[in-house]
Structure 1
Amino acid sequence: MTASATGLPFDDILSLLKTMPTADEDTRAKIRDREAQLTKPAGSLGRLEELAEWVAVWQRQSPPQILRPLVAVFAANHGVASKGVSAFPSSLNHQMVANFAAGGAAINQICIANDLGLKVFDLALDYPSGDISVEAALTEQECVATIAFGMEAIAGGTDLLCLGEMGIGNTTISAALFAALFGGTGADWVGRGSGVDDAGLQRKIDVVDQALETHKDHLGKPLEVLRRLGGREFAAMVGAVLAARQQNIPVIVDGFNTTAAVAVLYKLDPSSIDHCIFSHCSAEGAHKNALDKMGKTALLDLGMRLGEGTGAAIAAGIVKAACKLHEGMATFEQAGVDLPE
């Protein structure tokens, strides 16, 4: 699925929001009917029952099945990284993408453990996006083209998408996005990211505040916020989430940075992320605030802040287990167990 070209770059993206499939209520009824017959007390599996239902209503099938889960990691480089907002140099982006390819990253191990597919997308790492403190990250055409690329990223097929990202400096980008979308200043949204010291933390806050000042007259529309304050991995993740909705694929969001991308869609239309769940609450302090702003609750809280899709991949194992429980458990009748009074 791609966004066709028109005279107004964002119009095609906005038009997709008007054609989003909704949850399949017939499937929901089937899931709940079977759930009531399984050999367990009603509601005894707690949120696992909710997860199976969530997968089913967005896959539009009963029972829900996860046969081709995919972790998609989008890697990009940011001009703002030159301002010393990270404890690591931008050259690490290339090195980490090579590490992904060699199977040596944390996400590789979690994917092996949970039998998940993994794709890593190099989004023009040799060409950093603009320094948001003084200029727009992307032109409108670049932003739309990258959203369209994200839509095509799942063209190989999947029945569960886990969002991931890699980009030195991108917690600064996320903080700027959250501040523009939900209000506040750099101090409200900036955290230590990859582990900056106090001076680095202040640099991040100053950069975000400067970016908000630079773009203050152009932050009324979420897609304009994305292209001015975001970056290629954020635009690609927006595209992937849109395409997943159109193709009836449930989405697991990772942490602070992936949540910032999804927040752009939320501000366009809160229902546009109904097919998403949030895997974990990051150790980046403002992540919970962002989730609260959207009325969302993370599935896990493991003190993680790595990114790479690691939290989403951990959650995918739980979601797979939830679906297998619903599909594989016997009913009272099948097991020859007397129904409770």
Structure 2
Amino acid sequence: MEQLEKTIERIEKPDMAMKKKAMQRLADQARPAGSLGILEPISAQLAAIKGTLDVHLTEKIVITCAGDHGVVKEGVSLFPPEVTPQMVENFVNGGASINVLARQSGARVMVADLGVNFDFSPEMPIFHKKVRKGTSNFTKTPAMTRDEAVKSINAGISIVDELVKNGNVDIIGTGDMGIGNTTPSSAIIAAFSGISPSELTGRGTGINDAILANKIRVIEKGLELHRPDPNDAVDVLSKLGGFEIGGLAGLVLGAAAHKIPVVCDGIISTAGALIAFELAPGIRDYLFAGHRSVEKGHRFMHERMDLVPLLDLQFRLGEGTGAAVAFQLLDAATRILAEIKTFEEVAIINAQK
């Protein structure tokens, strides 16, 4: 736990004096107050994180965490687990949806293997952080041990540490790949909120009514069997989660500790962010919700963390796609704060009196 605890201890409040200064500049700009909606508080939040009114998000990276899930054996997904390593290779080769959308946003994509049931070549240019080849089936046993849960979180923290050590990182987007991983993600928000899985569980990759009903039963069985402690995020992760979800939590914690803004993608990335939030509520100051997906549980995650999603594009893909698209809005937010002139700067007198 030492690495995790030390990382949490390093998370500080952003520069609130700079945030106040940013809000004042926004109020003084030559336009109606509040007329640029949520881009205004976003720009002030970024200013507080970066300690400047002129924020530049030049070095963008999406980190897509991958892992397999034992619960897939319960028939909760349309796709077989063999797709997970195939998609990792697609990400590396630049041919996936996230690669295309990240290029449009000026971001690079890197993949992290946290628990894929496949032996990748050590030379493959990914973060090799495998905890184990897939989680256990949580309808039978806990998804992982507590030590493995902590190891997965620490792996995400280490990725951020390595990125910072090797060069500048201005913003991180989180993404996922793992067949069946909407099931543990829905189970996680059910465990924290106490809300019935029937209200939280969506169709993932597009399952039919029969598979959806089975998916809900599977989550209910896991909750009843393990009774995860909602006051212990590591317990929830270990009993119901995924190695990539732990890695995603670590990315958020590591980013906050390094004062790097982080944009979470869909329900799986947000499940990781929720684990991080339950461990260290201070990460909220560094966290942005890229979008709201069609997955029912995603809304409950946002509400629990008091996050307003930047977009609602009816995405249900994952990979980091929503985060990549949201990068463009965050770029826009930085420019409205820095470049829109104030009434004083353009010599407009008594404009709002």
**Normalized against structure 2, the TM-score is what?**
0.88
Pair 1:215-2:206 in alignment: no
State the partner residue of 1:26.
Answer: 17
Give the drift of 1:325. Answer: 2.4
| Structure 1, unpaired ranges of 5+ | 1-8
Compute the displacement of 1:269 (Å): 4.4
Question: Partners of 2:252 and 2:52 in 1: how far apart?
Answer: 20
Task: Identify the residue that residue 42 of structure 2 maps to in structure 1.
Answer: 51
Q: Report what 1:203 is aligned to.
A: 214
Q: Secondary structure at the match of 2:163?
A: coil
Q: Which residue of 1 aligns with 2:243?
A: 232
Q: 2: distance between equivalents of 1:68 and 1:324? A: 16
Match of 1:152 among 153, 158, 175: 158
Partner of 2:194: 183
Alignment length (residue pairs) = 332
- Contact 1:181-1:264 within 8 A present in 2 as well: no
Q: CA RMSD in A?
A: 2.0
- Cα distance per residue 1:77-136 (max 9 Å; x no partner): 111112111010101111111111121111111111111121111223121111111112
Give 2:146's match in structure 1, choosing from 116, 121, 140.
140
1:241–1:251: 8 Å Cα contact kept in structure 2? yes
2:301 is aligned with what amino acid?
A: A
Structure 1 102/282 Cα, relative in aligned 2: closer, same or farther at 3 Å? same
Structure 2 distance, partners of 1:333, 1:273, is 34
Bigger drift between 110-119 and 266-275 goes to 266-275
Residues 255 and 311, structure 1, Cα contact 8 Å, conserved in 2: yes
Report which stretch shifted further, 331-340 or 42-51.
331-340
Residue 69 of structure 1 deviates from its aligned partner by 1.4
- CA drift of 1:223 comes to 1.1
CA distance in 2, matches of 1:330, 1:217: 52
Q: Offset of 1:315 from its aligned partner?
A: 1.0
- For residues 232 and 139 of structure 1, the distance between their equivalents in structure 2, rounded to whole angstroms, comes to 11
Residue 217 of structure 1 deviates from its aligned partner by 6.2
What is the rounded CA distance, in whole Å, between the counterparts of 2:76 and 2:263 in structure 1? 28
Alignment of 1:102-141 (within 5 A): 102-126=93-117, 127-141=133-147
| Deviation, structure 1 residue 304 | 0.9
Report if aligned partners of 2:172, 2:263 keep a CA contact under 8 Å in 1: yes
| Structure 1 residues 305 and 334: alpha-carbon distance in aligned structure 2, compared to 1, 3 A threshold | same
Secondary structure of the 1:156 match is: helix
Structure 2 CA distance for partners of 1:338 and 1:117, relative to 1, 3 Å? farther
Instruction: Please give the secondary structure, in 2, of the residue aligned with 1:88.
Output: coil
CA shift for structure 1 position 275: 1.5
Provide the rounded CA distance (Å) in 2 between the counterparts of 1:37 and 1:219: 44
Identical columns (%): 34
How much does 1:45 deviate? Answer: 1.6
Q: Secondary structure at the match of 2:185?
A: helix
Q: CA contact under 8 A between 2:65 and 2:113: conserved in structure 1?
A: yes
Tell whether the 8 Å contact from 1:27 to 1:61 is kept in structure 2 after alignment. yes
Contact kept in structure 2, 1:133 and 1:211, CA below 8 Å: yes
How far residue 72 of structure 1 moved from its aligned partner, in angstroms, is 1.0
Deviation at 1:22, TM superposition (A): 0.5
TM-superposed CA distance for 1:13, in Å, is: 2.6
1:226 and 1:28 mapped to 2: Cα distance? 34
- 2:283 is the alignment partner of 1:272: yes
For the 8 Å contact 1:179–1:185, the answer to whether it is kept is: yes
Q: Distance in 2 between matches of 1:116 and 1:88?
A: 28
Indicate the residue corresponding to 2:267 in structure 1.
256
- Which secondary structure state, in structure 2, belongs to the residue aligned with residue 121 of structure 1? strand
| CA pair 297-36 structure 1, distance change in 2 beyond 3 A | closer
What are the superposed Cα offsets for residues 266-303 of structure 1, whole Å, 9 maximum, x if unpaired? 33343332311212111012221332233332221111
User: Following TM superposition, by how much is the alpha carbon of 1:337 offset from its aligned partner in structure 2, in angstroms?
Assistant: 5.0
User: Could you say which residue in structure 2 is the equivalent of 1:6?
Assistant: none
Give the direction of change, closer, same or farther, for the CA distance of 1:134–1:185 in structure 2 (3 Å limit): farther
Equivalent AA in structure 2 for residue 229 of structure 1: L
One-letter amino acid of the counterpart of residue 277, structure 2: Y
Q: Distance in 2 between matches of 1:112 and 1:220?
A: 40
Judged with a 3 Å threshold, the aligned counterparts in structure 2 of structure 1 residues 289 and 218 are, in CA distance, closer, same or farther, namely: closer
1:262·1:273 contact (CA, 8 Å) conserved in 2? no
Q: CA deviation at 1:319?
A: 0.5
Measure how far apart 1:165 and its partner are. 0.7
Alignment-mate amino acid for residue 125 of structure 1: V
Match for 1:201: what amino acid? L
Which deviates more from structure 2 when the two are superposed, residues 31-40 or residues 298-307?
31-40
Report which stretch shifted further, 75-84 or 210-219.
Answer: 210-219
Counterpart of 1:63 in structure 2 is 54
Q: Which amino acid aligns with 2:136?
A: G
